[in-house]
A = this chain, B = another copy of it.
């Protein structure tokens, strides 16, 4: 009777336990995607997301400032909303405060000043929340509501055979930042160290990109990369009942991560495939629509979009093509309960 849950088996267990029945017609999308969706009248719907940042699990107070924490809790939630093709609108905040920060006004003032500044910049309204003390590590838990039109939602489940697999930005950099923070003795040039650590501590949500993908209806499926490229691609494949073939040499690796690979034991490609918390958008679209998305991202958002492979049939599974041939992808994911 003491079987152990992993983070993923627990989420699967809870999702199956609370699988949304179809009896309420104001539930547009139940649990199982990046966010749930409810009806907001007419063609409009509200996209609901929640994500947490926990001290000593998601950040350390030694290396993250209160502004960094505010940025990250907003980014991880905005990323979920963006991955549905929606625009973030409202938030509710839960603060768990421990003695080392609950009583000092500077920490909380800086934190809320930064929250306010991000909210103002993004047009998000913080509508409420709660505070509690804790005898353990501090945490910030956020509920976010985004807005979109019902027929512009981009789900995990829409990938089609023949779709190109596309990803924004650079992969593996957040994991590389985490690696440097955990191994401070590693010699890395200051500029590269700062760049990689910043990607871990201050991830940027692809809000405009996600919003464009939703509005344009160019993509068939989308997810944000929080677990890892392969882990989140597996989410798309499972939900869409398809397989995928990735081309290893097409994966874009930043020069900073490449240099880290030269100076340490790590394999940059391994970080790109298996590293979490990049908060880039992973999507699938027909070849023709993929080109349109790439063009808009390139010209208007100045954001890289890389074509990394193709959606294939379910029975082919998820494979990676390398110089040594085609092999099955091993999906490793960070377990937040371990």
Contacts and interface: CB of A to CB of B under 8 A. Distances in A.
A92 B44 contact: no
A127 interface: yes
Contacts of A184: none
A98 B54 CA distance: 12
B48 A141 contact: no
13 contacts: A2-B104, A5-B108, A7-B131, A27-B90, A27-B127, A31-B126, A50-B143, A54-B133, A56-B135, A131-B336, A134-B136, A135-B136, A143-B143
Interface stretch (A34-42, A159-167, A246-254, A267-275): A34-42
Contacts of A187: none
B133 A338 contact: yes
A103 interface: yes
A58 B133 CA distance: 10
Contact of A136 (B98, B105, B113, B130): B98
B337 A116 contact: no
A18 B52 CA distance: 20
A145 interface: yes
Nearest to A125: B20
Interface residues of A, number: 77
Given A5-B103, A41-B41, A127-B48, A57 B132 contact: yes
Contact of A38 (B7, B56, B90): B90
A17 B41 CA distance: 30
Contacts of A14: 93, 112, 129, 131
Contacts of A103: 2, 4-5, 337
